[in-house]
Structure formats: structure tokens, C-alpha cells
Amino acid sequence: MFCISGAVFAQEKHILSGYVRDATSGEELIGATVYSPEMKTGTATNQYGFYSLTLPAGKHKILYQYLGYKPVSMEITLDRDVRKDIEMNPSSRNLEEVIVSGQTADYQVRSAEMGTNRLIPQDIRTVPVLFGEQDVLKTMQLLPGIAAVGEGNSGFYVRGGDASQNLVLLDEAPVYNASHLLGFFSVFNSDAIKDVKILKGFIPPQYGGRLASVLDIKMKEGNSKKLSGAGGLGLISSRLQLEGPFHKGKGSFMVTGRRTYADLFLKVLPDTNVNSNVLFFYDFNAKANYRISEKDRIYLSGYLGRDVFKFRKFFGIDWGNQTLSVRWNHLFSGRLFVNTSLIYSNYNYNFNIINEENKFDLFSSIRDINWKEDFQFYPSSGHTLRFGFKVNYHWFMPGEVSSSGDFPVNNLKMETRYALENAFYISHEWKVSSGITLHYGARLSSFSVMGPAHIYYYNERGDVTDTTWYPRHNIIKTYWNIDPRLLVNIKTGSHSSLKLSYTRMHQYLHLLSNSTSGTPLDLWIPSSTIVKPQTSNQISAGYFHNFHENSWELSLEAYYKNMAHQIDYKNGADIFLNELVESQLVFGSGQAYGMELLVRKNKGLFHGWVSYTLARSLRNFKDINQGKTYPAKQDRIHDISLVGIYDLNNKWSFSATWVYYTGNAVTFPSGKYVIEYQYVNYYTERNGYRMPPYHRLDLGATWQLNPEKNFRSSLNFSIYNVYARKNAYSISFQSKEDDPRITEAVKIYLFSIVPTVTYNFKF
């Protein structure tokens, strides 16, 4: 009898679930591992810090681990389902053993993820940067497969895709234009950021809507233990952040602001043409959360940012994003976690010319409203099911012009476009055996273009041949797509694994912008009868190995990706305020392939990483380059980054980065001729040349002024482009001013050596 009941008892299983938090700030920790060494089973916390682990009844030793935190070991008796919330302490700075990421560094080997990189604020803070402005997007560009759009630019290309093929999420809200000031700064104020994750290879089914990558940024929840703050005074901007608890720690909040004052320097200049210009941007992030009960928690987060530029008294332009997310976490049980989100996102710009009595105004925007349900179900040990849906309504307002006075421009209101984007997904993460983990699933998506709208049909030349009117709520066209996703993790040794994956993506929104330099005049258009959704298929394989007790990490990944329905412009395309913008486009295909190597040292006084990318990105358009395949502008071949950080003592730390990459593919002339009284360049092939190779060394040093005090402050010194290489920003081919017969190549470079000091504080 006892034996039998004993056997039954042994099979009985219970759930251990809860949250993992930082002991000093109360912030939930994302991706902390929860592990039972005896059962050799474990899990990781989700993006809200929640975990659920099914274990046989009985006593268990549970190990909680997280990057840069002291591990917590717990004896837990599971005689029923147990809720256990854990607080972990950051590891103190021990000079003998500085740990950047703790033992959970073997995450890259074990996880059912690949082509994924994470950055924690610590990484962002220690790397030297231009003008001392810490920037998530720029630090991210030091990782393999992620390339900077240009000198000092926060825009990025992932695995041969273009910048508009990256889905940028801030607390789940899409950010349509992630750059400030021509792209020199990103809209993400690093003080407000808790976690950054970029997915460029295997993209789990809960994500979709862009071809190349998903950049998932989480804002801090706010310190739930005590009121604290941080800030900084920099050469071109200042920041201030405040966070703290309310209602006895049941809730917490965080607010951050940042403003640049570069234009104040212009005022000093004597030239009235320069000093009357206005140029600045600001960001404001705010977040609050409240625990209604043990099982319910609500979050409210928002972002508001704006750039303002006034060119003397001639014209002004201002642009920016607004996002708002309301989320509700609910635990149905220890096994079922649900998040409901309502999300709003808006990007708009205003352009105006004021000329005494006369006015000209142009307004354009894209707006999104989103409803999402995400379920995470932990049926039994080794299984995680995720499923959910998304309903997303888009408004595209391409342009509205109003003018008054003598301005010769007619008032114009371009038709607003409406679209409904829906998705349903399911995925299963399954530890098949001790050596094999599967992560598979699919995303079913639909995209409907809705009336009221005029739909135009064009001939070869781009003339309108027919027009159809669709009244309000009529569906003009619906696309349905199913995107399968699959990842296999095969353990090849105690510290190594081999991973294979397949990812298919669809993109229904397309960015038209004639320029790469992050001008605010972005125009997003929906898929339509003429513009087909962009599609990609990516296969990738990777080998992951950790050495010396996970203090060294190595990853080597290779991928191949094809892309269909890619968009480019006709020669001389006019996309600005053009109702017939679709007639200005040409369509083609692309392919990208490459190999990425990352070697990272996570422990010791000296730590950092080496990243190397070998890649190609090619395009084929019937109407471009006589139909011959040509390299995309982001085709970069070699891209190397070295990052080294040395923590000398608790007062001083030093850092250095060096980057090298092959110049972008670019179109240069192969000859010249005379027409209209001038020399004109003769082009024979698209992107047939290369910019000169780019390389740069940056150095940084941080001096903690009072490391032991409650009010801590530090000075950060950085030198951008130490050996003052004149890296080309652009190369133009033009006639010499005094003798037009002599044509020459002229390079523009933006920065030579740029030293900066920033003062930061924290209390």
C-alpha cells in the first residue's frame, strides 16, 4: 500500500511560480534563470519577471541566477502549488572578480533563441560615445550583424535589411522614427531603459510585421523601495530622472526628461544667418505600475519626443513620436500568465514657412491603435506555450497643406489611408530531451486596406488609367499570410550547442524616404493593390560555446535570407505630396547572407567583446541597373568591432572601442559629358563602387567621485575618433569652381577628433 501511494506521491507535480526582482530597486528582472540542479530542469523569467516551473512534489533546492547579481539558492518544499517571489542583490564590485554577467551566461548555449543579442544598461554606460550621449542604438551597432547607417548615426541595418525593416518597440508600442537630429541621436534616453533585446535571426511567432529584426526595448518600472533619481549634464544635453514608490510600495513610478541645447551655442556666433537658427530636441518618458492584487498588476507607460528646427525666419519643421501603452498582467494560476495591452503610437511632422503675411503649413502623420492579448501557459515541466492575438488599426495621413496670404500653393488634403492588421500566433517551446530543445510555431496575419479611398490603376509609364472609389468601411484588399517559425537546439557538449532555425516574415507597412540621413519627412504607406507585402525567409545555423566556467562566450552564426516585393524608386521619383505616389515605385527582390562571430569575455577586471561580420546583401530590380543584380547600399562585406573595458578600481574604469567596416556600396560616375552648358556625370551601374573603408578608435574613462556615498556622482570623459581619421560621410563628383573642365572627387567628413566630458549623478 505504502509503496503504491509512494509511487503516486512521487508522480504528483506542483507548480513553483513567482516574480524575480532586484532587491535594491524592486525592478523585475527579465531572463533570470530558475533552476533545479537535482531535476536538471529550469526556466527563465519572462519579460514581466514572471516564472513558472513544474516540479514533482517534495523538497527542492532552487537556484536563481541573473546577470551581474548574486545567485540565490533556496530550499523549497512543494507539497502544493507554491508562489515564491525572489529578490536578488546586485553583485558588489569585488576587485578580484568583476562579473559582468554571472553564471547565467550559459544562457546563449541553452536557450531556445538564436540571432538574439541583449544589452543591459551597464553595457551602454561603459562604452565611449559621440558627444558623451549614451545611446542604446549606437552600442548595439557594436554587435555582429547590426550595422550603423552612417557616421555617428543611430539608424541601423540588420542582416542586409534596410532601416525601415526593423520593428522598434518601446514597451510594446511601435516607434516609427527612432532618431533625433538627422539620426545623430536615438529617441531612447538610456536613463529610462531597463532592457534591450534585438532579434535578428530566429524571431518567435509573437513578433511580426517587419522583415529584418525586432528591437524590443523595455522601460524601467521605477524603484518600488525608495525615492531615487539620476541625471547628467553633458556638452549638448542634460537629463534628469526620478523614480520611486507610492501607496506603500504597491506601485512605483519613473519619469525621465532630456533636452539638448546645441542651438544655444549657435547664439554665440556673430553671423546672424547662423545664430538665428533654432535646433533642439527633447524626450519625456513616464511610467507607473500598480499591484492591484497578488495576481493583477497594471502598467501605464508613455513616451513623448520632439525635434524642433527653425531655419532663420524662412521655415520651421518639428517632428516627433508619441506612444502610450496600458497593460494588465493577470495570473489565472501559477501555470497561466496573461497580458492585455492597449497601445497607441503616433509619428507626425509639421513643416511651415512663415513669410510676413503669408503662411504655408504642411502636416503629416501615421497613427496606430493596438489591442494585444498574450498568453503564456506552462502545462508541465519542459513545455511553454505562448499564444495570443493582435488587432491593429492604422491611419496614414500623408499630407495636408494649408496656405494663406500670397502663397501660390493651393490647399490640399491628401486622402487618409486606413488599414487593419490582425495577427494570431501560437508557439511551443519544448525540451524534448536533455539534449534537444524545440521552439516552433506560426503566426497567421491579415492586412486589410479599408475605404474610404480612391484606388488608382496605372500603366507602364505611371499614368492613371482607371480610378475606383471605395466608400467608408469597405475592404479594398485583404492579404492573408502564415509565417512558420522553427528553432532546434542540439546540445553538443556540456558547454556547447548547435542551433538551426527557420523564420518567415511579412511586412505590410513600407517607408518611402529618398534619403538615408534620417530626415523627418518620412512617409509610411500601407500595402495595397499595387504595393504587395514584403516577404522574407531566413534560415540560419549557429554554434555556441562557453569556456572557462562561462567567463568566455563564443557564438558563430551563418544565415541566408531571401526577400520578395522590395521597394525602390523610379529615377527622379516624386514622393513628396504626391497622391499618385505608388506610380513612382518599382519592385524587386533581394537576398542576404553572411556569417557572424562574437567572442565575449564576461569576467575579470578586463572584459569586453570582439565581433566580426562577413556579409553580403544584394538586390534585383527589373527597372534598375538593366535588371542585373547589384549590391544594396547596406552591403558591407566586413564589419569588425572591438570593445574593451578595464575596471582599475572602484574609482576609475577605462574603455576603448575600435570599429572597422568596408565602405557601403555606392554609385559613382564612370564618365562625364556636357549638356545644358555644364559637365554632368555619366553613370553606368548602380552601387558599382565602394566608399573608402571606415575605421575609428574611441576611448572613454569614468571617474567615480564619491563611490561610497548615497549621492554618487561621476565624470565621464570620452574621445571620439582618437586618431582623427577623416572618415568619408559622402563623396561627390563635381567640377572645380574656377575651371569646370576639371572634375574631381570631393569627400565630406563630419568629425575629426571629438572630446567630451559628461557629469552624471545618482541618488
Partner 1 sequence: MKRLIPLYSVLLILLFNACEEVVNIPLRNTVPGVVIEGSVTTLPGPYKVIMSQTTDYYNPGMIKHLSGALVFVKDSEGHYWYFQEKKQGLYENSQFTGIPGLTYHLQIEWNRHVYTASSVMQEPVPIDSLHVQFFPGSRFADAGYFIIIYFTDPPGKGNYYRIKMMRGEKTNTVIYVLDDQLTDGNQIPFYLYGASYQPGDTAIVELQSIDRGVYEYLLTLSTVTSSSQPGSTSTPANPTTNLSGGALGYFGALAISRDTVIIE
Tell which positions 485-514 bind partner 1, by CB under 8 A.
Answer: 514
731 binds partner 1 (CB under 8 A): yes
Q: Which long-range contacts (C-beta less than 8 Å, at least 24 apart) are formed by 249-252?
A: 249/26, 249/224, 249/225, 250/290, 250/291, 251/224, 251/288, 251/289, 251/290, 251/291, 252/26, 252/221, 252/222, 252/223, 252/224, 252/288, 252/289
Residue 652: closest CA among 717, 702, 603: 702
- Contacts (CB under 8 A) with partner 1, residues 255-294: 262, 271, 273-274, 277, 279
435 burial level (CB within 10 Å; 0-12, 13-18, 19+): exposed
The only residue of 24, 340, 481, 519 in contact with partner 1, by rule CB under 8 A: 519
The DSSP element (H or E) to which 9 belongs, if any, is helix 2-11
- Contacts (CB under 8 A) with partner 1, residues 169-188: 182
539 binds partner 1 (CB under 8 A): no
621 binds partner 1 (CB under 8 A): no
713 binds partner 1 (CB under 8 A): no
670 binds partner 1 (CB under 8 A): yes
706 binds partner 1 (CB under 8 A): no
User: Whose Cβ is closer to partner 1: residue 44's or residue 353's?
Assistant: 353
Beta bridge partners of 315: 311, 353
- Contacts (CB under 8 A) with partner 1, residues 342-361: 351
Question: Which residues touch 373 (CB under 8 Å, ≥6 apart)?
Answer: 338, 339, 340, 341, 388, 389, 390
The only residue of 226, 333, 732, 753 in contact with partner 1, by rule CB under 8 A: 732
User: Whose Cβ is closer to partner 1: residue 236's or residue 525's?
Assistant: 236
737 binds partner 1 (CB under 8 A): no
CA 445 to CA 405: how far, in whole Å?
A: 48
Min CB(123)–partner 1 separation in Å: 27
CA 569 to CA 456: how far, in whole Å?
A: 18
Report the chain's C-alpha Rg in angstroms: 27
The DSSP element (H or E) to which 222 belongs, if any, is none
The only residue of 464, 490, 748, 757 in contact with partner 1, by rule CB under 8 A: 748
Cell (9 digits) for 299 = 502598467
Kindly state the number of chain residues that form the binding site for partner 1, as judged by CB under 8 A: 71
The only residue of 706, 752, 753, 757 in contact with partner 1, by rule CB under 8 A: 752
298 binds partner 1 (CB under 8 A): no
Q: What is the DSSP string of 604-658?
A: SSEEEEEEEEEEEEEEEETTSGGG--EE-TT--EEEEEEEEEEE-SSSEEEEEEE
The only residue of 35, 282, 299, 309 in contact with partner 1, by rule CB under 8 A: 309
User: Whose Cβ is closer to partner 1: residue 2's or residue 677's?
Assistant: 677
User: Whose Cβ is closer to partner 1: residue 219's or residue 523's?
Assistant: 523
Residues 475, 449: contact at Cβ < 8 Å?
yes
Min CB(659)–partner 1 separation in Å: 19
User: Whose Cβ is closer to partner 1: residue 287's or residue 310's?
Assistant: 310
The only residue of 3, 94, 96, 408 in contact with partner 1, by rule CB under 8 A: 408
The only residue of 37, 379, 435, 671 in contact with partner 1, by rule CB under 8 A: 671
b/e map 711-733, b = 16+ CB within 10 Å: eebbebbbbbbbeebebbbebee
Residues 194, 221: contact at Cβ < 8 Å?
yes
Min CB(734)–partner 1 separation in Å: 5
459 binds partner 1 (CB under 8 A): no
- Which listed range, 136-144, 297-305, 342-350, 733-741, lies at the site for partner 1 (CB under 8 A)? 733-741
User: Whose Cβ is closer to partner 1: residue 669's or residue 755's?
Assistant: 669
The only residue of 667, 701, 712, 725 in contact with partner 1, by rule CB under 8 A: 667
The only residue of 402, 422, 562, 681 in contact with partner 1, by rule CB under 8 A: 681
458 binds partner 1 (CB under 8 A): no
Cis peptide before 452 (omega within 30 of 0): yes
- Mapped onto helix, strand or coil, the DSSP state of residue 589 is strand
587 binds partner 1 (CB under 8 A): no
617 binds partner 1 (CB under 8 A): no
The only residue of 457, 458, 560, 689 in contact with partner 1, by rule CB under 8 A: 689
The only residue of 480, 606, 682, 723 in contact with partner 1, by rule CB under 8 A: 682
Supply φ then ψ for residue 332, to 5 degrees: -70, -35
406 binds partner 1 (CB under 8 A): yes
Residues 163, 171: contact at Cβ < 8 Å?
no
